[in-house]
Amino acid sequence: GENVEQHPSTLSVQEGDSAVIKCTYSDSASNYFPWYKQELGKRPQLIIDIRSNVGEKKDQRIAVTLNKTAKHFSLHITETQPEDSAVYFCAASPNYGGSQGNLIFGKGTKLSVKP
Partner 1 sequence: NAGVTQTPKFRILKIGQSMTLQCAQDMNHNYMYWYRQDPGMGLKLIYYSVGAGITDKGEVPNGYNVSRSTTEDFPLRLELAAPSQTSVYFCASSIIPGTGKNEQFFGPGTRLTVL
Minimal distance, residue 30 CB to partner 1, in Å = 12
Binding track, positions 10-49, relative to partner 1; x by CB under 8 A: ----------------------x-x-------xxxxx--x
User: ω into residue 44 within 30 of 0, thus cis?
Assistant: no
Q: What residues are paired with 45 via a beta bridge? A: 37
Q: Which of 19, 37, 73, 108 contacts partner 1 by CB under 8 A? A: 108
Closest by CA to 80, choosing from 11, 24, 23, 30, is: 11
Name the H helices within the chain. none
**What is the contact surface with partner 1 in residues (CB under 8 A)?**
1, 4, 6, 32, 34, 42-46, 49, 89, 93, 98, 100-108
